[in-house]
């Protein structure tokens, strides 16, 4: 992304500018100890924090009195949102502009999406990359909504190719599941040999991104994220689908305080036995159930619940149940997943014993020893949160310390 960003505003005819380099942060406000001072009563003393990270500039309203608007939408307090480069920012009553001054090689071609109808979509910026696909943020002009465009990276030369069929299968699985805790699919298209999905855009980071930025999720937050993941899995399993890739990086956290499950790229309908590649559907080893590590075809709903337990473990402990040394080969790693018991969570302060027991039951080696119903797991997680953390309101997963 851009190497530098210029932050500017015009206050009563006076232009103010500040250059924010990648890796730096700044606070905008009316107080004395801020990086960008704006003397206006509509602006709080510490109003807005900007963080220029690898993926762009993140905005965090610091609990201001008059709020912050991004693209006309209010930001939830203390909830980072990614600015994609073209949206208007207003703090209090003062407009702020962010201009990218220099781009690296990966960003020069960012808006070069010839397959995307220009009269329909305005590309806002890069939202993420995966092994087989890239995701851009865009605005759908006619409907006036922001969307995510998920593109298969390699052009389609053969409609029967495994990657293309997997991409279409992901789209079909999205259409079969409706839940407030699952990213919504709006459309699937094929243009100029390039298939792409039009999805709901979630502005917040993934649970994994938050952990990687140095702050494990608190126990009550993990309980609520886990509860919402379980609700998502309940809807997935009710539709006869197994996700097979449950992990923190596939859980997006909105700034309204909702966890949304995404990425059905490894998913399959339980009636579908067409697996053409040996390792397709294996998932990410630190979160994969032993039966799925043995054979992707054996993965059923309880394999997803294993991934849920591993994700809750990672959110609370700051690391997954299994960490692999660089010298371990695949066979050694698979053997550890099948035979080793994850370390206990009891050494961590503030983890209730019933929660540790629930996570341990989700991580049982044999699927028949795990809970059998995602809805029941969701209710249990809620009961634990209300019992041990009654003061937690669950309105946001973010705080100012994480945003930095």
Residues tagged active-site:
245
β-strand pairing of 268-269 with 259-261: unpaired
Helix (H, G, I), strand (E, B) or coil at 114: coil
**Which residues make Cβ contacts (< 8 Å) with residue 164, sequence separation at least 6?**
152, 156, 158, 195
Task: Judge whether 50 and 7 are in contact, CB under 8 Å.
Answer: yes
Rounded distance between C-alpha atoms, residue 102 and residue 113, angstroms: 20
* Cβ(101)–Cβ(38) below 8 Å: no
| Number of alpha carbons in the 13 Å side-chain half-sphere of residue 108 | 3
- Phi and psi at 11, nearest 5°, equal -115, 110
CA-CA distances (angstroms) from residue 67 to 91, 281, 369? Answer: 6, 44, 49
Looking at 112-219, which runs of residues are DSSP E strands?
A: 121-129, 133-140, 145-152, 185-191, 194-200
What DSSP string runs through 310-373?
HHHHHHHHSS-S----TT--HHHHHHHHHHPPPPPSTTSTT--HHHHHHHHHHT-SSGGGS-S-
Question: What's the farthest any 2 CA atoms get from each other in the chain?
Answer: 70
How many helices and strands (H and E) does the chain possess?
A: 10, 20
CB atoms within 10 A of CB 145: 12
Cα 258 to Cα 113, 149, 183, 224, 274, distances in angstroms: 31, 21, 11, 9, 34
Residue tagged 């980071």 (tokens) = 205
Residue 241 contacts residue 281 (beta carbons within 8 Å): no
CA pair distance 86, 366, nearest whole angstrom: 51
Asked if 258 contacts 181 with a C-beta cutoff of 8 angstroms, the reply is yes
The angle formed by the CA atoms of residues 136, 19 and 98, to the nearest 5 degrees, is 40
């Amino acid at each position: 992304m851009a190497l530098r960003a210029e932050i500017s505003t015009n206050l009563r005819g006076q232009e103010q500018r500040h250059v924010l380099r990648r890796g730096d942060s700044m606070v905008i406000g009316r107080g004395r100890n801020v990086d960008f001072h704006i003397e206006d009563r509509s602006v709080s003393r510490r109003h807005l924090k900007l963080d220029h990270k690898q993926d762009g500039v993140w905005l965090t309203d610091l609990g201001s009195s008059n709020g912050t608007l991004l693209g006309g939408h209010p930001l939830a307090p203390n909830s980072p949102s990614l600015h994609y480069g073209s949206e208007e920012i207003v703090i209090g009553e003062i407009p702020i502009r962010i201009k990218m001054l220099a781009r690296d090689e990966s960003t020069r071609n960012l808006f070069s999406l010839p397959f995307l109808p220009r009269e329909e979509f305005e590309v806002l910026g890069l939202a993420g990359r995966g092994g087989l696909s890239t995701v851009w943020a865009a605005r759908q002009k006619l409907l006036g909504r922001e969307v995510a465009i998920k593109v298969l990276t390699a052009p389609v030369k053969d409609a029967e190719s495994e990657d293309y069929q997997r991409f279409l299968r992901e789209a079909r699985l999205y259409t079969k599941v409706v839940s407030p805790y699952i990213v919504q699919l709006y459309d699937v298209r094929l243009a100029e040999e390039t298939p792409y999905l039009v999805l709901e855009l979630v502005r917040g980071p993934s649970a994994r991104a938050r952990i990687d930025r140095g702050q494990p999720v608190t126990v009550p937050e993990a309980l609520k994220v886990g509860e919402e993941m379980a609700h998502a899995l309940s809807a997935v399993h009710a539709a006869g689908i197994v996700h097979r890739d449950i992990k923190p990086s596939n859980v997006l956290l909105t700034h309204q305080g909702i966890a949304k499950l995404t990425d059905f790229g490894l998913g399959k309908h339980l009636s579908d036995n067409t697996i053409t590649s040996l390792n397709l559907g294996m998932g990410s080893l630190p979160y994969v159930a032993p039966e799925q590590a043995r054979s992707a075809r054996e993965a059923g709903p309880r394999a997803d619940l294993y991934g849920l337990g591993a994700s809750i473990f990672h959110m609370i402990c700051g690391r997954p149940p299994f960490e692999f040394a660089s010298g371990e080969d695949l066979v050694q790693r698979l053997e550890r997943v099948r035979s080793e018991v994850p370390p206990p969570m009891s050494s961590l302060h503030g983890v209730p014993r019933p929660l540790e027991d629930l996570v341990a039951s989700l991580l049982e080696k044999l699927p028949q020893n795990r809970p059998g119903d995602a809805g029941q797991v969701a209710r249990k997680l809620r009961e634990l949160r209300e019992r041990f953390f009654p003061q937690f309101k669950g309105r946001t997963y973010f705080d100012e310390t994480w945003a930095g």
